[in-house]
A = this chain, B = another copy of it.
Amino acid sequence: MALPLHLSRRNFLVTSGTGAVAMCVSGNAGGYTGAEMRAFAADDTLKGVSKWELDTPALCVDLDKLSGNIATMRTRLADMKVVSRPHAKTHKCPTIAKLQLAGGSIGICTAKISEAEVFSAAGIGPILMTTSNVTPNKIRRAMQIRKTNRQFIQAVDYPQNARDLNDAAHEAGIVADVVIDVAIGTRSGVPAGDEALALAQLVDKLPNLKLRGVISYDGGAQHIKGFKNRLETTLNRFGPSVDTFERMKRAGLNTEIFSGGGTGTYNILPKAPGVTDLQVGSYIFMDCQYIEIGSESNADIFADFTPSLTVVTTVLNTYFPKSITTDAGAKALTLNKPGPWVIGEKSFEYNAGSDEFGVIRYETAGRSYKVGDKLELIVPHCDPVVNEYDQVYAIRGDRVEAVWPIAARGHSQ
């Protein structure tokens, strides 16, 4: 089973429209630096530069595939009577957030207050911050956002935190919108049940807070392999959150938001009663981790969305048998597993364990490679890879159409 599965995934990469041919070009292109490309972007003269001419490692997103993924998510969710509130921690890019909103999403999520600041400053209103702000400074920052952006909502998971938020909102002269973060597992959130209900009732009573509903995210469920297993585990673990949500509703509390889920459970969580929207993130880009979880229609491959995000890298060394060294290592691709996949090559094993270099081992290659050649990679896990780059090249065909700043890159606070 292991080998066919492995091969079927590689075949998917070769044939999925990610491009079977010309995934490698010879290295005598002129090349453009990041600074040059930004300058081009400013005066709009960059159109037509080939992605193979970019200085590498270069982070690229295929615009047609990105748009296709946004449209697919909209259609699929509409069939299930829910909407998306995509997690912007995946792309950290206001331009992409605006594409998502234009494509039917009702808002975005952020994980960190520094991300929320970037997106709010970029003119994006509906932001739901899914992590609690627990220090006085971050609470102050959250209230600053809320003062200028009435659509900003933040999570709360402790009674003391609710009181702190209420005090800060009072001091800022506002009423701040909050959702109760109900835990699934033990990472974040208030335990489902009595504690969560009591917290919601506290929030409802605090004069400077407005309860908007519930968020409940199951990080561990997204990458469960096999659709049936993922479905059963997800709905089982989500049960206590549903119970809590229904108890809140029966208690007369505001439950207009019941948000959760991710790309791996986008077609599972809508089966739970009451869910309003999904915090999907990776669907716009896809990555090696998601490809291998399998989908409802395909046990081996999660092909509901198309890989749109790639890193272009340059071959640096071919002296040694069955080995190719590239210029994209852990600082360009992270250490997530499975490692990067070389588009168009079925048997390449790409190791990004070295900080500065990628090392490919192979038995057979689809062509011969020489120093300066370019390779294109599907990334292991999209979120942390994007966070390594200041910009992403927006590609149509194989030409650069725009250079998008990853404005919230490095915003881990």
Q: Is the CB of A388 within 8 A of B413?
A: no
A140-198 contacts to B, CB under 8 A, are 140-141, 157-158, 160-161, 183, 186-191, 195
CB distance from A284 to the nearest CB of B (A): 16
Residues of chain B within 8 A (CB-CB) of A409 are: 410
A44 in contact (CB, < 8 A): no
Give the CA-CA distance A336 to B89 in the complex, in Å.
21
| A interface residues, how many (CB within 8 angstroms) | 72
Interface 9-mer from A9-17, A64-72, A324-332: A324-332
Interface 9-mer from A207-215, A235-243, A249-257, A355-363: A355-363
Give the CA-CA distance A158 to B370 in the complex, in Å.
11
Copy tally for this chain in the complex stands at 2
Q: Is the CB of B188 within 8 A of A112?
A: no
A383 in contact (CB, < 8 A): yes
Given A188-B357, A330-B384: 16 more A-B contacts, CB < 8 Å: A27-B135, A29-B136, A32-B137, A33-B114, A34-B114, A56-B135, A112-B356, A135-B314, A157-B317, A186-B319, A191-B320, A219-B354, A328-B412, A335-B336, A409-B410, A410-B410
* Nearest 9 CB-CB pairings of A with B: A31-B137, A186-B320, A335-B335, A111-B356, A332-B412, A55-B413, A331-B412, A134-B372, A186-B323
Q: List 24 A-B contacts (CB under 8 A).
A: A28-B136, A34-B413, A55-B137, A111-B355, A111-B356, A112-B327, A134-B314, A135-B372, A183-B319, A183-B320, A186-B319, A186-B320, A186-B323, A186-B325, A187-B354, A187-B357, A188-B325, A330-B384, A334-B334, A335-B335, A356-B412, A387-B388, A388-B410, A409-B410
Question: Residues on A close to B: CB < 8 A?
Answer: 27-34, 55-58, 89, 111-112, 114, 131-132, 134-138, 140-141, 157-158, 160-161, 183, 186-191, 195, 219, 314-317, 319-320, 323, 325, 327-328, 330-332, 334-336, 354-357, 359, 371-372, 381, 383-384, 387-390, 409-410, 412-413
